Structure 1
Amino acid sequence: MDKRSKMALYGIAAIIVLLMIAEVAKPKAINWRNSYSAADKIPLGCYVIFNELKTFSSNPLETSDKSIYEVLNNSSDFSNTTLILINDYIGLEKESSEALLKFVENGNTVFISTAMAFGKFADTLNIKMKSDNDGFLKQPSKSIFASKSLGSNGQVFDDVIENSYITSIDTTNALVLGYLENEEKTLEEINFIKTPFGENGGAFYIHANPFAFSNYHMLNDKADYAATVLSFLPKNNSLLWDNYYKSGRKVIKSPLRFILANSALKWTFYISLLGLIIFVIFKGKRTQRIIPVVEPLKNATVEFTQTIGDLYYQHGDYSNIINKKITYFLEFVRSTYYLETNEFSERFIQKLAVKSANNVQDTKSLIDLITFLKSKNNHTENELIALNKQIEHFTKNNL
């Protein structure tokens, strides 16, 4: 390797090292995506509330990474259990909704905190929710409790919030536990209810402010509100935390996705790939031998045929040339138009004229000339020229 190539490689290596240092040293941007995962410590994750729930009950706190149908399909295995679902939206398919309803019907409890709920379970409970896009969306609002004794436990949420509320409930069965009011106290909407379900003491708790359980608000003096909401749940129940219906649920289906999801592994992969490309470029340029140019074999069939024709013509062997042209023409008719050439009948002439796009008169003239020339043993130059002109005129539509 010459001096110039070494200097180029050293320069590239220095640039890569500088890029790595800059990438490691730069401050990481705050991730504001909705997650609600128990493992996420980002602002809208639920790492804090998940760990606080461990002290909520003396019973163990379990997590579920499967769909509700998979977990609750045999709901008779559960008793005195509270299932906690927190996400910006909860949408269940028919099978999971039926499993959830049966789970509560057997005497268990479900707590759902979401800005949007849909599915058979929501229809069954007559639950409809809405985010206020026209009014005080993301404007300061206060979540308060229906009980006067809990008046001081209400909380104003002035940022990182979407003001969602419940627009439809089962008025004959549901119990309103909390409201959402705007800063001017001119609007008050339901945002927390309890709906008993079944004959065994089971109940749904529906809450419309999942942001209140995020790390951001739990660590910004809003933890008392979240604790008050959870205080309505049965104290002696076992807790089952759902970690499946999460906007931030990590789905890794391939090794490459796993590598790219991890910052350190991602940059290692990129640097290795870049190094491999540089190696191939420089190594291939220095060692690849020249590929010789191989000229393709020339097709001399046309020249050979022309030479043989000239030879016959110069010796005045017109009969041989005429016979070969007739033979070639008839073979052309058989292979191109799929017509038998054993007999030149009127029917043959009609079919040949149609298939070759020639008129019947020209076709008949050519066939008559061929018939005449085949009946002679000796031919003249003029007859050869006449045959050649008629064949060229006949086949012009096939060129």
Structure 2
Amino acid sequence: MDKRSKIVLYVIAAVILMLMIAEIAKPKPLNWSDSYSAADKIPLGCYVLYNELETFSDGEVLENTESIYLYLNNKTESEEKQSLFMINSYVNLTEQDTDALLEFVDDGNIVLLSSKGLYGKLADTLNLTIRLDYSGLYKEPANNQFTSPNQKENNTLFKDVIENAFITSVDTLNTTILGTVKGEDKDETHPNFIKTAFGKNNGAFYIHTNPYAFTNYHILNGSENYTSTVLSYLPKQQIIWDNYYKSGRKVITSPLRYILTNPALKWAFYISMFSLILFIIFKGKRTQRIIPVINKLENSTVEFTQTIGELYYQHGDYSNIIAKKIQYFLEFIRTKYFLNTNNLNTSFIEKLAIKSSNTKEDAKAIVDYLLYLKSKNTHTETELIELNKKIEKFTKNNF
């Protein structure tokens, strides 16, 4: 990697690092989503209320993190009466949940249900209808008032962060209206807080249609008296806080989802992955296997021939060397000049002289010497040297 490429890479890495730091350091946008969870400190969470419930509870505040049906069927029987708090934008109960809840209240317990809507079997059983007013009251400032003259000082005007819902029908035989809602510029009032007796053991449902009154935003912005007054209508007994039927309930389905929902773990994960990618890129380039240099195959025929020749020469086998040199020379003539070497006669000498660019005398001299050597059975070193000289002289222009 050249110097310029390294500089570019360092600049890119620095920019990415600065972007990550800016992302981490920038102020987080305020989360205005409906939560109602006891653990959430966002405006529409219920962290403040949950941590103040001991004031209104007779004993430790219990927490439910599963469906009402499972919780009420698995909990141990208690002679002491209890109050179940269910606060959310909408509470959707199955038929099994509703049956378990009705049985719980029929045993003399209390349910506080604060929601903008109630449907299904529970609404039918209580003969109750809740609706949002879309004609002008919806999301407009509204007075939440108590019907008791003794509580007038705790009436509260909710100016913002509000969705006004009210009750349009009730079971008049078993219901007591405890509070109403009225638009700031309207004279028309509607019930929004009621008590409905249920069963023969003094059990009751407290239905409240303004769940926003229990959130951190309103409790910390001057509406705490209204909230505490609503809770004061309930008998002081052990409270069960429902943390299952919540819009902001945390649902973790995998370890990776848990990591990505936690800001610190999320950025640690991103940095680790980025570092791993850089490591792979640079480590892969630095430690790749060196490609070996493969030399061209050498033609060792000449060396081999020299070795064999030296072997014969050292043993004094001149006749064998001369025979092989004559055989090699004749093969050269056959392949180079396409001449038949079976008969080394006058016609052969003439053709050889013409094709080899030698004189007829030179051609005749080497042929005669070949015939001379072939006629002998034994040879001397001098004859071998002379043969080699004649062959080199004759072929000097042909190799």
Structure 1 length-normalised TM: 0.69
Cα distance in structure 2, aligned partners of 1:74 and 1:129:
31
In 1, distance between residues paired with 2:103 and 2:67? 15
Q: Distance in 2 between matches of 1:126 and 1:76?
A: 31
Q: Is the 1:145–1:154 Cα contact (8 Å) retained in structure 2?
A: yes
Counterpart Cα distance in 2 of 1:5 and 1:75:
67
What SS does structure 2 have at the residue aligned with 1:269?
helix
Corresponding residue for residue 173 of structure 1: 174
Q: Which structure is larger by alpha-carbon Rg, 1 or 2?
A: 2
Residues 36 and 44, structure 1, Cα contact 8 Å, conserved in 2: yes
Report the Cα distance in structure 1 between the residues aligned to 2:52 and 2:181, rounded to whole angstroms.
Answer: 25
Render the CA deviation track for 1:61-82: whole Å, top value 9, x for unaligned.
1111111011112577144100
Whole-angstrom CA distance in 2 between matches of 1:12 and 1:283: 18
Distance 1:58 1:172, change over 3 A: closer
- Residue 60 of structure 1 corresponds to 60
Take 2:76 and 2:280, find their aligned partners in 1: how far apart are those partners?
62
Letter in 2 for 1:52: E
Aligned to 2:69: 69
Instruction: After TM superposition, give the deviation of residue 13 of structure 1 in Å.
Output: 2.7
Instruction: Give the drift of 1:6.
Output: 2.9
Q: What is the match of residue 152 of structure 1? A: 153
SS of the residue corresponding to residue 227 of structure 2 reads: helix
Q: CA deviation at 1:286?
A: 6.6
Shift of 1:126: 1.2
Q: Secondary structure at the match of 2:229?
A: helix
Distance 1:187 1:285 in 2: 78
Report the alpha carbon displacement of residue 21 of structure 1 after superposing the two structures with TM.
Answer: 2.2
2:230, 2:172 → 1: CA distance?
21
Whether the aligned pair in 1 keeps the contact of 2:142 and 2:182 (CA below 8 Å) is yes
Aligned partner of 2:201: which letter?
N
For the 8 Å contact 2:252–2:258, the answer to whether it is kept is yes
Q: Secondary structure at the match of 1:143?
A: strand
Say if 2:230 is the partner of 1:229.
Answer: yes
Alignment of 1:302-317 (within 5 A): none
Counterpart Cα distance in 1 of 2:45 and 2:263: 19
CA 1:201/1:272 → structure 2, altered by over 3 Å: closer, same or farther?
same
Separation (CA, whole Å) in 2 of partners of 1:130 and 1:54: 32
Counterparts of 1:4 and 1:283 in 2: how far apart (Å)?
19
Q: Structure 2: which amino acid aligns with 1:126? A: N
CA contact (8 A) 1:59 1:238 kept: yes
Distance across 2 between alignment mates of 1:284 and 1:5: 17
CA 1:173–1:290: 2 relative to 1, 3 Å: farther
Residues 161-170 or 97-106, more deviating: 161-170
Answer yes or no: is the 8 Å Cα contact 1:75–1:99 preserved in 2.
no
Amino acid corresponding to residue 253 of structure 2 in structure 1: K
Deviation at 1:284, TM superposition (A): 4.8
Is the CA contact 1:75–1:103 (under 8 Å) kept in the aligned structure 2? no
Tell me the residue number matched to 2:15.
15
3-state secondary structure, aligned to 1:91: coil
Cα distance between partner residues in 1 of 2:158 and 2:119: 25
**Which deviates further from its counterpart, 169-178 or 71-80?**
71-80
Do the aligned partners of 1:91 and 1:117 also contact (CA within 8 Å) in 2? yes
Corresponding residue number in structure 2 for 1:196: 197
Matched, 1:163 2:203: no
Residue 340 of structure 1: aligned partner: none
Aligned to 1:349: none
Deviations 1:55-98 (A, max 9, x none): 22342111111110111125771441000011111110010100
CA distance in 2, matches of 1:75, 1:19: 51
Aligned residue identity for 1:21: I
Q: Give how far 1:282 is off.
A: 5.1
Output one character per residue of 1:230-262: Cα deviation in whole Å (capped at 9) or x when no partner.
000011x11100000000000001000001101
Identity of aligned residues (%): 57
SS in 1 for 2:235: coil
Aligned to 1:316: none
What is the SS of the residue equivalent to 1:184? Answer: coil
Deviation (angstroms), 1:288? 6.4
How far has the Cα of 1:37 moved from its partner?
Answer: 0.4
> In the alignment, which residue of structure 1 is the partner of 2:249?
249
Runs of 5+ consecutive residues of structure 1 not aligned to the other structure: 292-399
Q: Residue 43 of structure 1 aligns to a residue in which SS?
A: coil
Structure 2 residues without counterparts, runs of 5 or longer: 292-399
In the aligned structure 2, how far is the partner of 1:164 from the partner of 1:229? 16
C-alpha separation between the residues in 1 aligned to 2:199 and 2:137?
A: 37
**Deviation at residue 184 of structure 1 after TM alignment:** 1.9
State TM-score, norm by structure 2. Answer: 0.69
Residue 26 of structure 1 deviates from its aligned partner by 1.1
Given that 1:84 and 1:110 are in contact with CA atoms closer than 8 Å, whether structure 2 keeps it comes out as yes
Residues 1:139 and 2:140 aligned together: yes
**How many positions carry a matched residue from both structures?**
290
**What SS does structure 2 have at the residue aligned with 1:191?**
strand
Q: Look up the SS of the partner of 2:264 in the other structure.
A: helix
* Aligned AA (1:141): A
1:23-52 deviation digits (Å, cap 9, x = unpaired) = 232111100000000010000000001111
- Give 3-state SS (helix, strand or coil) of 2:177's partner: strand
